[in-house]
Amino acid sequence: MNKFRIGFGYDVHQLQEGYDFWLGGIKLDHSKGAVGHSDADVLIHVICDAVLGAANLRDIGYHFSDQDPQYKGIDSKILLRQVMKLLREKGYEIGNIDSTVCLQLPKVNPHIEAIKKCLAEVMEIDEDDISIKATTTEKLGFVGREEGVSAYCNALIYKK
């Protein structure tokens, strides 16, 4: 019998003009970008946290501290590759990823297939094992005021 585990991730980044906006490894055209120590890719960060949590490997901040200068401006795809390496070292594989991005603008839906393709390549899993959903907050809260972006993710992993 396979051993299954579930992990959950949540992340928020402030949006400001003058920054690139990265989401799921893809640079989106927008007047504002996410602010963070790395490239502030909120979707990759929640996937990392969900996978690490499922494998009982703590969280993204534990492995890639925002106080460490080597991670300043780093491409989050590099972090995700490292997380997948840690996961596989513990003998686990991804069952599936289910994520939701909360963002008023830009619209995420037109980019979902490209994001899934990018993430599947980085994680070395099937695109069909990655679900990405997007929602607005109907102009409510920091997301609705376009001050920030948030994301949630569940990850199912199993022992190989």
Query: Is 12 among the annotated ligand-binding positions?
Result: yes
Residue 137 among known ligand-binding residues? yes
At 94, give phi and psi (nearest 5°).
-75, 130
Q: Is 39 annotated as a binding residue?
A: no
Q: Is 121 annotated as a binding residue?
A: no
Asked whether residue 129 is marked as a ligand-binding residue, the answer is no
> Which amino acid, residue 127?
E
Task: Give 115: exposed, middle or buried? Use CB within 10 Å, 0-12, 13-18, 19+.
Answer: buried
63 annotated to bind ligand: no
Q: Is there a binding annotation on residue 111?
A: no
Token pair belonging to 133: 């959903």
58 is in an annotated binding site: no
CA distance 134 to 99: 8
Question: Does the annotation flag 30 for ligand binding?
Answer: no
The answer to the question of whether 31 is labelled as a binding residue is: no
**Is 18 a known ligand-binding residue?**
no
Judge whether 100 is annotated as a binding position: no
Instruction: Give CA–CA dist 59/108, Å, rounded.
Output: 26
Per the annotation, does 145 bind a ligand?
yes
Q: Which segments are annotated as binding site for a divalent metal cation? A: 11, 13, 45
Can you say which residues are annotated as belonging to the binding site?
11-13, 37-38, 45, 59-61, 64-68, 135-138, 142, 145
